Amino acid sequence: MKILFPVSELYPYVKTGGLADVAEALPKALSALGHDVRLLIPAYPAVKAAITSVRAVFDDGNLFGGGPARIWLAALGGLPVPVYLLDSDGLFERPGGPYQRPGGGDWPDNPRRFAALSWAAARIGWDGADGWRPDVIHGHDWQTGLMPAYLAAFRRAGPDRRRPGTVLTIHNLAYQGQFAPSVFGDLGLPADFAGLNGVEYYGGIGFLKAGLLLADRVSTVSPTYADEIRRPETGFGLDGLLRGRSGRVSGIVNGVDTTVWNPADDPFLPARYEAADLAGKAVCKAHLQAEMDLAPDPHVPVFGAVARLTYHKGLDLLLGATASLVAGGGQLVLLGSGEPALEAGFHDLAAAYPGRVAVRIGYDEGLSHRIQAGADSILVPSRSEPCGLTQLYALRYGSPPLVRRTGGLADTVVNAEPWAVAEGVATGFQFDDATPGALAGTLAWAMERYRDGVTWPLLQAAGMATDVGWGASAQAYLTLYDRAIGDVAGFV
Ligand code: ADP
């Protein structure tokens, strides 16, 4: 199958969230299954710097007001799939992040910049580039939300031929690409696309809304999140539209890079280990306690958390539950940065419980690996979590995750109910209510199970045997692509 994969982020060059990881990992997994995948990404400076070979496939006079634009076909770094680069100095040659100025604040011309990306995807999809035309285009988030709209416009204006199928994946419904109505004039879409059946969204323009309405298939990054986004309380204003398209909406969980996250071969760890022999994990625990100035005790349950400190990650719940975690004889290691009030709250806890609570504010890749390996359990108390990665690492590192039952956390952790433990399928702990009390209660339950001498090895074994790689998800996407291609016949 020929798959075009337009994205606005790509690990390790340009990253603000999980999309960048998916953009790197899923095309690789699809390519390993024998499919012809090509990425499309704006030629940001960091992307240009990684080009190892390139040739031009397309020139445009003045793309979306950004001056001359080109599409290149390039090889990037060690990436095994070819990459189309949308090169426009006026739109993408600038410092800062992909969406924001260096000091913060969105680039005011973001609508034109990502309309251009969506347009380029549709253009390659409709006319082909260099003799290559995809069977399906798999877009991501609002930045490629207009892709199905441009494709529909090309089809209307052009020769009568079958267009590629389209899939749009939501990585986080909170980001919707919502703009003033005046933006419509910049988009180059036929006038009737301005209405409710096109890009109109609550009186303005909605890039994600348009994509969710017009793509053949919509997916998101876990089945439970796919369900949550169709409910008013968690649908961010798009639940009605998504309910209307229910038969076309599905969820596929992300995988992790099992070469980077592998306790048997992880260069960040003081000792390596695998399911059959966890001796190295005990070394990692002792090392973590020493590194973080926690009391050196192999028997105390150590809970770890690695997260952006934001409200939606539920870290305020952990602030409220830490006293009872400590009272129950546990230790806490937290790594993260974010909202000042949460940072200050965890600083205060570390000061209040020396040797029991250790906090590192900042971003530290190596320490995040050592926490996954050295902790007995990883905490993920998120209020909402489209998929989540840290609980998947925790499964692989033999650190049964304790999570709130939402989104991808609900789908990837099997709660340690007695029957599930007995069957050998339980992999961690779940709690429902987003309250410190509910978290504290589940922490107490987990500590009890930790000390019973029976449960923990069963949880660890089941978690470490769970397949958290990309293989199964890549297969699920291929099925979705087939459905999208099948849908085209009945679509305008
Ligand atoms: P989100 O994308 O919402 O932040 P995920 O769980 O999907 O949540 O992914 C978060 C990723 O960022 C994980 O790989 C996690 O290990 C990493 N991470 C978060 N905070 C830190 C930090 N302070 N230091 C190192 N890695 C971090």
Q: Where in the chain is CATH 3.40.50.2000?
A: 2-255+471-488, 279-465
Taking the centre of ligand 1 as the mean of its atom positions, its distance from the CA of residue 390, in whole angstroms, is 7
User: What is the model's pLDDT at position 492?
Assistant: 47
Taking the centre of ligand 1 as the mean of its atom positions, its distance from the CA of residue 212, in whole angstroms, is 27
Nearest atom in ligand 1 to 368's CA: 25
Taking the centre of ligand 1 as the mean of its atom positions, its distance from the CA of residue 370, in whole angstroms, is 14
Please work out, in degrees rounded to the nearest 5, the angle formed at the alpha carbon of residue 6 by the alpha carbons of 92 and 94.
10
Question: Does pLDDT of 455 surpass 50?
Answer: yes
User: What is the residue with the minimal CA distance to atom 12 of ligand 1?
Assistant: 307
Task: Name the pLDDT band for 490 (thresholds 50, 70, 90).
Answer: low
User: What is the residue with the minimal CA distance to atom 24 of ligand 1?
Assistant: 363
Nearest atom in ligand 1 to 390's CA: 6
| Angle, in degrees to the nearest 10, between helices 18-32 and 471-488 | 80
The torsion angles phi and psi of 431, rounded to 5 degrees, stand at -130, 155
- Alpha-carbon distance of 396 to 273, in angstroms, equals 11
Task: Answer left, alpha or beta for residue 407, where phi above 0 means left and psi between -120 and 50 means alpha.
Answer: left
Question: Does pLDDT of 491 surpass 70?
Answer: no
pLDDT in tens, 213-251: 999 999 999 999 999 999 999 999 999 999 999 999 999
User: What is the residue with the minimal CA distance to atom 7 of ligand 1?
Assistant: 388
Higher pLDDT, 295 or 57: 295
Cβ contacts of residue 191 below 8 Å, gap of 6+? none
- Alpha-carbon distance of 35 to 27, in angstroms, equals 9
Taking the centre of ligand 1 as the mean of its atom positions, its distance from the CA of residue 372, in whole angstroms, is 12
Question: Does pLDDT of 276 surpass 50?
Answer: yes
User: What is the model's pLDDT at position 65?
Assistant: 84
Superfamily of domain 2-255+471-488: Glycogen Phosphorylase B; (3.40.50.2000)
Does ligand 1 have an atom closer than 6 angstroms to the CB of 388? Answer: yes
Does ligand 1 have an atom closer than 6 angstroms to the CB of 16? Answer: no
Task: Name the pLDDT band for 32 (thresholds 50, 70, 90).
Answer: very high
Q: What percent of the chain has pLDDT over 70?
A: 99
Q: Which of 170, 306, 395 to mutate to test the pocket of ligand 1 (most atoms within 8 A of CB)?
A: 306
Does ligand 1 have an atom closer than 6 angstroms to the CB of 371? Answer: no
Task: Name the pLDDT band for 389 (thresholds 50, 70, 90).
Answer: very high
Does ligand 1 have an atom closer than 6 angstroms to the CB of 305? Answer: no
Of residues 318, 327, 337, the one with CA closest to residue 380: 318
What number does CATH give the domain 279-465? 3.40.50.2000
Does ligand 1 have an atom closer than 6 angstroms to the CB of 308? Answer: yes
Task: Name the pLDDT band for 61 (thresholds 50, 70, 90).
Answer: confident
Task: Name the pLDDT band for 489 (thresholds 50, 70, 90).
Answer: confident
Which of 416-430 are b and which e, b meaning 16 or more Cβ less than 10 Å from the residue's Cβ? Answer: beeebbeeebbbbbb
CA distances from 135 to 2, 81, 440, 472 (A): 5, 16, 50, 21
Question: Does pLDDT of 82 surpass 70?
Answer: yes
Least confident of 60-74, 181-195, 348-362, 391-405: 60-74
Of residues 490, 472, 491, 487, the one with CA closest to residue 136: 487
User: What is the model's pLDDT at position 303?
Assistant: 98
Does ligand 1 have an atom closer than 6 angstroms to the CB of 17? Answer: yes
Cβ contacts of residue 351 below 8 Å, gap of 6+? none
Place of tokens 């031929």: 161
User: What is the model's pLDDT at position 119?
Assistant: 97
CA distances from 120 to 85, 110, 116, 326, 461 (A): 10, 15, 6, 55, 47
Q: Which helix (H) or strand (E) holds 98?
A: none
pLDDT in tens, 430-449: 999 999 999 999 999 999 99
Mean pLDDT, range 315-325, rounded to an integer: 98
User: What is the model's pLDDT at position 45?
Assistant: 97
Question: Does pLDDT of 62 surpass 90?
Answer: no
DSSP letters, 336-393, are EEE-HHHHHHHHHHHHHSTTTEEEEES--HHHHHHHHHH-SEEEE--S--SS-SHHHH
Does ligand 1 have an atom closer than 6 angstroms to the CB of 368? Answer: yes
Mean pLDDT, range 396-405, rounded to an integer: 98
- Alpha-carbon distance of 19 to 411, in angstroms, equals 19
User: What is the residue with the minimal CA distance to atom 17 of ligand 1?
Assistant: 307
Q: Which of 368, 383, 385 to mutate to test the pocket of ligand 1 (most atoms within 8 A of CB)?
A: 368
Question: Does pLDDT of 70 surpass 80?
Answer: yes
| Angle, in degrees to the nearest 10, between helices 340-352 and 315-327 | 10
pLDDT in tens, 107-139: 999 999 999 999 999 999 999 998 999 999 999
Cβ contacts of residue 454 below 8 Å, gap of 6+? none
Taking the centre of ligand 1 as the mean of its atom positions, its distance from the CA of residue 404, in whole angstroms, is 16
Mean pLDDT of the chain: 96
Mean pLDDT, range 401-424, rounded to an integer: 98
Does ligand 1 have an atom closer than 6 angstroms to the CB of 335? Answer: yes
Confirm if 247 and 381 have CB atoms less than 8 A apart: no
H-helix segments, 93-179? 110-127, 147-157
Q: What percent of the chain has pLDDT over 90?
A: 92
Task: Name the pLDDT band for 158 (thresholds 50, 70, 90).
Answer: confident
Nearest atom in ligand 1 to 360's CA: 23
